[in-house]
Structure 1
Amino acid sequence: MPRVICAGHVNWDITLRVDHLPVADGEAAIQHQTGAGGGSAANVAVALAGLGIPVSLLGSVGDDDHGRATRRELAQTGVDCDPVQTVTDGETAVKYLIVDGDGEVMVLGQTGVNEAFRSGHLADETLAAADVLHLTSQHPETAARLAERAREAGVLVSFDPGRRLGQRDYTATLALADVLFLNDREAAMALDDVTDHGAETVVLKHGPRGAEVRAGDETLTHPGFPVQTVDTTGAGDAFAAGFLASRVQGDDDDEALAVANACGALAARSPGARVDVSWTAVAELLGH
């Protein structure tokens, strides 16, 4: 069975559902509050596990209640947490997700120790046993070294830099990525450079307008699925998980794009960063 390693942030998310997103000096009413595990790498890992893909997670948490709760949640979903580092004198990263009635999200973050892990914390034998290394937003030097090691081991490199793309220099990792995920905002910043020097496969996420895959001279598109949006948190992570799960099982880009859009839609219609993704739910949206 193909195996994926996800590397990046492991957080604790506190989600505040509000009546509207406030403007500067404004105020909104909190309608509901929940706490659960989050972080882009962890979210992708959980979705992959839900799709039956063996997955390991490289990240770091604090030796605190949030870190222990996060580990328990991940282990219960079937994610291999052995590579996750526990920092004894640090705190688990906490993100405050403010979500309005239309599912739009505003994020406030306390970084904590979610970038305390380094490339060396991933054992050579764990990397060698994988088919894909999926990198998410993390320290640029760590991402680049992990990508280099994966290339040396013959492991496909997937990269979803996320909203920090404009704030950090990911040039080295972009040049080493085989598959790159970008949303519209990120593509506006990096697509030209990537097309000239980077990934063989670029997957562009257009939110409710679907997505496209650009591979060489070929472009494939999928319109997405019309769903009632509840919360867009983690939808991009579920999308990436769906694309990778489909690809490692031998599907072509066209099918992988459809599966990815289905997983993103399932996440968008559910509250929170984690969603119960399964092949049964995906098949219902695909009409299979």
Structure 2
Amino acid sequence: MTDTPYDVLAIGNAIVDVISSASDAFITDQKLVKGGMDLIDAERAVGLYEAMGPGKQVSGGAAANTLSGLAMLGAKCSFIGQVADDELGKFYAHDLRAAGVDFAVPPGAEDAPTGRCLILVTPDGERTMNTFLGASHYLPASAISDDAVSNARILFLEGYMWDPPEPRAAMRQAIEIARKARTEIAFGTCADFCVRTHREDFRKLIDDNMIDILFANEEEAGILEDSDPEAAIETLARDVPLLVITRGPRGAIAIQDGKRYEVAALPTSVVDTTGAGDLFAAGFLAGRVKGESIDRCLQMGAIVAAEIVSHFGARPEKNLQRLMDE
């Protein structure tokens, strides 16, 4: 571990996940795209929430999920995100801190309520997400601490946050601070629609050498390079120092300095794929801050991802450190 204040400092959406089981018929009746992620307004969020069955609540968001896994693996982590001064906001802050992640950003001054993601899990383990971003859309640049970014080992950025202008400005500011301080910058593309919408911006970050570690899945890589996934992976591997690509049941690969590393997915019963990529990143980055080899980082990512898909929700239920030791 490093002697810096934080191993990983992340910027992301502060969203309460509400996870519930649903039938394929419910997905169809609600006119949802199975396996997709849609942004919804407050009215739709209320209506869908009322139609859902009993659910489980947990503080979520891609970057926060990653930090929770990292904290369980012994990393010192801090989160920058925006909640409102409401019940869900209070729940979010308490739940994230209880997971071992520092979270000191004050509630936002906007009228927007705390964001929430309504996650419907069908019997095959596929998750359909419906996200109301709420207060997280208004994260100000003033929330970025120069010292916190400069003294972190890794700055981890969530691609979902690139859409609204205020968080995008905050992340650009953090990137500039990190680059001057030589803090390693990791970036997760998060979803296919993020890449389609912000392909030019993401590509410019890469071209300007503003990303040291790029996390994406095969589909996202293909969209980013407007080519088939394998060709896209070859191109991206030349353009970023460390490329990490997840491939679902086929495991994951990493490429650094032209050398390709691979790991197979661990056998497990898939109950819910929510957070699989987020927690893979947690395992990989935990190995990174401990100075592990790329092979070991991939293995750690695969272990955590296998644990997370074996149950509902994007928070581990087993002792991750014990799983690593085993």
How high is the TM-score relative to the length of structure 1? Answer: 0.91
Q: Of 279, 300, 304, which residue of structure 2 is paired with 1:259? A: 300
Q: Distance in 1 between matches of 2:324 and 2:24?
A: 31
CA-based RMSD? 2.2
Which secondary structure does the structure 2 equivalent of 1:35 belong to? strand
Structural mapping, 1:77-96, within 5 Å: 77-82=99-104, 84-88=105-109, 89-96=111-118
Shift of 1:170: 2.5
1:31 positional shift = 5.7
**Is 2:192 aligned against 1:188?**
no
How far is 1:177 from its partner? 0.6
Query: C-alpha separation between the residues in 2 aligned to 1:123 and 1:26?
Result: 42
Judged with a 3 Å threshold, the aligned counterparts in structure 2 of structure 1 residues 65 and 211 are, in CA distance, closer, same or farther, namely: same
Higher helix content, 1 or 2: 2
Amino acid at match of 2:197: Q
Q: CA deviation at 1:156?
A: 0.2
Q: Structure 1 263/21 Cα, relative in aligned 2: closer, same or farther at 3 Å?
A: farther
1:1-288 alignment, distance < 5 Å: 1-2=1-2, 3-20=7-24, 22=26, 24-25=28-29, 32-82=54-104, 84-88=105-109, 89-137=111-159, 138-139=161-162, 140-163=168-191, 164-168=194-198, 169-175=201-207, 176-191=210-225, 192=232, 195=236, 198-276=239-317, 278-284=320-326
How far is 1:109 from its partner?
1.2
Paired residues in the alignment total 283
> Structure 1: which 5+ runs fail to align?
none
CA contact (8 A) 2:83 2:108 kept: yes
Mapped contact 2:216–2:245 kept (Cα < 8 A): yes
Q: Decide whether the 8 Å contact of 1:60 with 1:85 is kept in 2.
A: yes
The residue type equivalent to 1:273 in the other structure is: A
Are residues 237 and 66 of structure 1, via their aligned partners in 2, closer, same or farther at CA, if it must alter by over 3 Å? same
Distance 1:207 1:261 in 2: 10
- Cα-to-partner distance string for 1:139-173 (whole Å, 9 max, x where unaligned): 34433332222111110000002111222233343
TM-score for both structures, normalised by structure 2: 0.81
Task: State how far apart, in whole Å, the 2-side matches of 1:124 and 1:145 are.
Answer: 9
- Structure 2: 5+ residue runs without aligned partners? 33-50, 163-167, 226-231
Q: 8 Å contact 1:227–1:269 — kept in the other structure?
A: yes
- Aligned CA distance change for structure 1 residues 11 and 94 (closer, same or farther; 3 Å): same
Moved more, 185-194 or 215-224: 185-194
Structure 1 pair 26/62, CA: closer, same or farther in 2 (3 Å)? Answer: closer
For structure 1, which segment, 189-198 or 173-182, has the greater mean C-alpha deviation from structure 2 after superposition? 189-198
> What percent of counterpart residues are identical?
29
1:129 deviates by 1.7
Alpha carbons 1:59, 1:85 under 8 Å: kept: no
